[in-house]
Amino acid sequence: MKPAYKWIALSNTTIGMLLATVNATSILIAMPVIFRGIDINPLDPANFSYLLWLLMGYMVVSAVLVVTAGRLGDMFGRTRVYNLGFAIFTLAAIGLTFVWSRGSAGAIELIVFRMLQAIGGAMLMASGAAIITDAFPANQRGFALGINMIAAMAGSFLGIVIGGVLAAINWRWIFAVNLPIGALGTVWGFWQLREVGLRHRGRIDWIGNLTFAAGLAMVLIGVTTGLQPYGGSSMGWSNPEVLLLLLGGLAVLALFAYWETRTPEPMFHLELFSIRAFTLGNLAGMLGAVARGGLQFMLIIWLQGIWLPLHGYDYTQTPLWAGIYMLPMTIGFLVAGPVSGMLSDRYGARPFATSGMLLSAATFGALMLLPADFSYPVFGLLIFLNGVAMGLFASPNTAAIMNSVPARHRGVASGIRVTFQNVGMPLSISLFFTLMIVGLNSTVPAALFSGLTANGVPAALAHQLAALPPISYLFASFLGYNPLATLLGPVLGQLPPADVANLTGRTFFPSLISGPFQHGLVLVLGFSIAASLVAAVASALRGGRYIHEEAHEEVAVVA
């Protein structure tokens, strides 16, 4: 292997990771424009499932398939799987760009193409870290994986800004921008990347694949459906369908675990969990994803629904500016990620990953003390430190996981690592929205009713609006809509102009919801602190620097 090859592998896989994460977050900001473009109202309760699945469908599909993609890479070549994933991702972007239908049919087409894109994304994510691990020597893997993860984090925030800019032109540009980058990465990958790691021929564990995919999909679909109102409840956790999906999914996953211990060619390779560094690293990674995943949504809603309107920003501008005001978190990650990756190559992952989770818990505790209308320099400093905490943790933890496994299992190990993180994200979002809504339900209805009636809204309508599920106005704020202007609708024409101006102004709703939101945020941040501290304990118990050594592990198998 030529020395220059490792940099070719790093640059291509970094482009792949950047593309996947930019695409994942740019759609968040462009959602109102996309739905208006296909003539569908995302705030109509009948359309809420379309909105939720366009946001969460990608996460669910990628979480379900990423281990299978890693296993296929171990068997048939990680580069082959990676390049095929790049091609599928790009083809799905073409489909998204040219969605032809309008209304509900257009929304379904978008969801289907996003799920198809998630198949390509799963193949990219599963194989990317394994390709880097194969290409770099053990004493440089932390640095290389750190660069790759920096691209992922930078992409997640750049996507918010890029989405805001492109959405102002046309919603199709959100997906069209992926085409030249995807084509370049695909052609470059097929041309330059080659198989340099150990390949292990074997049979595909079809029963394991099907039971794992079915069980995990049922759990994640149940969790996602639980966010939707059901009957007279603001959430769907009492919905029999949700309970059936969750319990049935767990039962199928138990069957999967049983099968994996009996089959000679397992999909999951449960014996990898006998490696302490691998098991505790994945546990810490999942808890870290749970701690921060949903919280990013909460911070964006905090900015878009409360802080930015209170400081004179129109609701239509808040999605873009929320992304800009979140940049200190990205900068903190960019500062800490490469440094911690390089140092972990020398000193091991434990001190950096553990201190990262402890710093994360400290920043969550400090955010809990901020008022709803905070001083931005203080907020900016805290999210910068939170970005530093993620940078300290992410690349050392990834390098430690990948270093701990035999070379022939790097693909499936990378898939397991990504699955733990991808499962953590939708679980985190669902849990955080549930905790936030529990907090809002206890205080918002009475405050909203009194505020509306004081400004001329008839009592019957005020009671109806006060009884709406809190997720309605949370998503309104998240999508850049003025919640009360949207919810009151035609009633505004029956009110005096002064009351209309007050109700739909920039300060009425933020002032009304700031107290209840703060109460809900305390529950959310309290959970993040607990998850971060448990992750720190898991990280500390992983042991010292550990690299799995294997005879002839750098010899590639010829197809």
Three-class HEC string of 246-289: HHHHHHHHHHHHHHHCCCCCCCCCHHHHHCHHHHHHHHHHHHHH
The residue whose two tokens read 């994510």 is: 125
The string of pLDDT tens digits covering residues 228-286 is 777 777 777 888 988 999 999 999 989 988 888 888 777 777 778 888 888 999 999 98
The per-residue pLDDT for 553 is 40
Nearest-10 Cα torsion for 181, 182, 185, 190: -150
Percent of the chain with pLDDT over 70: 92
Helices marked H in 404-443 — which ranges? 410-441
100: exposed, middle or buried (Cβ count in 10 Å: 0-12, 13-18, 19+)? exposed
* Average pLDDT, integer, range 369-373: 90
CA–CA dist 538, 103 (Å, integer): 48
Q: Which of 132-146, 235-249, 332-346 has the highest mean pLDDT?
A: 235-249
Please tell me the predicted confidence (pLDDT) of residue 547: 60
Q: How confident is the model at residue 559 (pLDDT cuts 50, 70, 90)?
A: very low
pLDDT at position 112: 93
Name the nearest CA neighbour of 96 among 172, 164, 28.
Answer: 172
pLDDT above 60 (res 555): no
pLDDT at 200 over 70: no
Tens-place pLDDT, residues 75-91: 778 888 888 998 999 99
Lowest mean pLDDT among 10-19, 385-394, 547-556: 547-556
- Give the chain's mean pLDDT: 81
Is the distance from CB of 160 to CB of 22 less than 8 angstroms? no
Cβ 196 vs Cβ 3: under 8 Å:
no
> Which pLDDT belongs to residue 219?
86
Share of the chain above pLDDT 90, in %: 14
Q: What is the pLDDT of residue 6?
A: 84
Please tell me the predicted confidence (pLDDT) of residue 284. Answer: 92
Span 169-195, pLDDT tens digits: 788 888 888 888 888 888 888 887 777
